[in-house]
Amino acid sequence: MSTSRPVGHGPLPPLHSAPDADLDDIDRRLLRRLGEDGRASYARIGAEVNLSATAVKRRIDRLRARGVVRGFTVVLDPRLLGWGTEAFVEVYCRERTSPEEILASLRQFPEVVAAWTVTGDPDALVHLRAADMRHLDAVIERIRREPGVQRSRSSVVLSRLIG
Amino acid sequence: MSTSRPVGHGPLPPLHSAPDADLDDIDRRLLRRLGEDGRASYARIGAEVNLSATAVKRRIDRLRARGVVRGFTVVLDPRLLGWGTEAFVEVYCRERTSPEEILASLRQFPEVVAAWTVTGDPDALVHLRAADMRHLDAVIERIRREPGVQRSRSSVVLSRLIG
DNA sequence: CATGAAACTTTTTCTGG
DNA sequence: CCAGAAAAAGTTTCATG
């Protein structure tokens, strides 16, 4: 029943040496535990941080209220779900293409797992997930044809090192 | 206690139209619900998918056993934790630098949230999180000085569009 | 073989110290 | 922060289609 998902490296932001977050040591251990198993019971967490289940719940509630804890989610295996191929696409937009327009363009693709506007030559970086190369190719082609998009440069993921 | 985290776009792989995963419609709805709230009770989930809590638990257990569900985790707000600045760094390695060496280099930085080896000109793409620009700059400098690293090209994240 | 109901255990949630 | 009681959720067992 225990999930082994080391944090620090991974989808979670680093907990240790956080510059400033008003977290005490117990909060950090507690969040680390929730990072490893988001369904861990308050009682079990409390046993590990030397706190009663009630105290643990109150701390987590407080962290939720503050917005530090945004919620809880399930971690799935994209490969086993049939989404084994991923890529990053740098998108170069035409002049006068707003982030809103980029967003609107990308929103329609379920293959777009994440996207950011960035500094530098490209305007946006897009993280794609697809079933296979063929699928990936098709999606990239469709993105390139979007009105606001001028050109793009793709990197297919060979292996996930961290995260 | 309900978390609004739309899936399809985001850290979760898309659930709908999964090419092949041996998931039936109930599994997909169930996973979607867990994506939104990883701590939702079996009873509540069951009420939404017209199944008993027992049946829901067994389905989730089965999905865990198959590896489709890797676990559960908490979703944190990096900004409120003091990690508000992020960037992507393309790393160009020297000849004969293995992925293992890249991994070993990057592992030591807690600021490295994710990293992939990729096709194309750069060898690796690195996702960084830092407290601020100053911090980000320092980390990138340290990465550039790593033995296996030849040069790098960075994009600072301006805004998160999706994910 | 998956399901649902019931029995049983653990955990959560209140209350008041 | 602790203790205890009530409520809810998790877990196991068993019978059914």
Cβ contact A116–B8 (<8 Å): no
Give the CATH number for residue B130: 3.30.70.920
Interface of A with B in 94-153 (CB under 8 A): 99, 102-103, 106-107, 110-120, 122, 124-125, 127, 129, 131-132, 135, 153
Strands (E), B1-148: 69-76, 85-93, 112-118, 124-130
pLDDT of B21 over the 60 cut: yes
Residue B14: phi and psi, rounded to 5, are: -60, 140
Same domain, A50 and A102: no
Q: Which residues contact A44 (CB under 8 A, 6 or more apart)?
A: none
Across B12-21, B43-52, B85-94, least confident range: B12-21
Same domain, B141 and B103: yes
Given this model, what pLDDT does residue B12 score? Answer: 80
Q: End of a domain among B12, B35, B65? A: B65
Instruction: Quote the Cα angle for B84-B85-B91, to 5°.
Output: 145
Given this model, what pLDDT does residue B18 score? Answer: 60
Given this model, what pLDDT does residue A2 score? Answer: 41
Mean pLDDT of B152-163: 96
Given this model, what pLDDT does residue A7 score? Answer: 59
Query: From CA A103, how far away is CA A110, in angstroms rounded?
Result: 13
Same domain, A150 and A104: yes
Query: From CA A112, how far away is CA A109, in angstroms rounded?
Result: 6
Across A5-9, B57-61, B135-139, least confident range: A5-9
B52 touches strand C (CB under 7 A): yes
SS3 B110: coil
Q: Is B27 on the interface with A (CB under 8 A)?
A: no
pLDDT of A108 over the 50 cut: yes
| Per-residue confidence band for A115, with pLDDT thresholds at 50, 70 and 90 | very high
Across A28-32, A115-119, B17-21, B72-76, least confident range: B17-21
pLDDT of A72 over the 70 cut: yes
pLDDT of B163 over the 90 cut: no
A55 touches strand D (CB under 7 A): yes
> Could you tell me if residue B120 is inside a domain?
yes
CA distance A88 to chain B (A): 9
Query: From CA B32, how far away is CA B156, in angstroms rounded?
Result: 31
> Could you tell me if residue A5 is inside a domain?
no
Nearest CA in chain B to A2: B71
> Could you tell me if residue B134 is inside a domain?
yes
The percentage of residues in chain B with a pLDDT greater than 90, rounded to a whole number, is 84
Q: What is the pTM of this model?
A: 0.90
Q: Is A1 on the interface with B (CB under 8 A)?
A: no
> Could you tell me if residue A101 is inside a domain?
yes
pLDDT of A160 over the 80 cut: yes
Same domain, B142 and B114: yes
The amino acid at A129: R
pLDDT of A124 over the 70 cut: yes
Same domain, A91 and A56: no
Same domain, A98 and A132: yes
> Could you tell me if residue A9 is inside a domain?
no
Residue B50: phi and psi, rounded to 5, are: 60, 55
Number of domains in chain A: 2
Question: Both tokens of residue A104?
Answer: 């609107």
| Per-residue confidence band for A131, with pLDDT thresholds at 50, 70 and 90 | very high
Mean pLDDT of B34-56: 95
Query: From CA B73, how far away is CA A73, in angstroms rounded?
Result: 6
Same domain, B60 and B98: no
User: Cβ of B29: how many Cβ atoms within 10 Å?
Assistant: 17
pLDDT of A3 over the 70 cut: no
B87-133, pLDDT tens digit by residue?
999 999 998 899 999 999 999 999 999 999 999 999 999 999 999 99
> Could you tell me if residue B55 is inside a domain?
yes
Q: Which residues pair with A85 in a beta bridge?
A: A130
**Average pLDDT over chain B, rounded to an integer:** 91
Q: Are A21 and B82 in contact (CB under 8 A)?
A: yes
Highest mean pLDDT pick, A58-67, B1-10, B13-22: A58-67
Mean pLDDT of A144-162: 97
> Which of A5, A73, A86, A117 is best to mutate for the B interface (most B CBs within 10 A)?
A73
Output the distance from A82 CA to D7 C1' rounded to whole Å.
41
Cβ contact A158–B117 (<8 Å): yes
Same domain, A58 and A98: no
More confident residue, B129 or B163: B129
> Could you tell me if residue A51 is inside a domain?
yes
CA distances in angstroms from B98 to B4, B81, B103, B120, listed in the order given: 41, 34, 9, 16
> Could you tell me if residue B8 is inside a domain?
no
Give the CATH number for residue A37: 1.10.10
Domain range spanning residue B55?
25-65
Question: Both tokens of residue B107?
Answer: 């592992």
Cβ contact B129–A5 (<8 Å): no
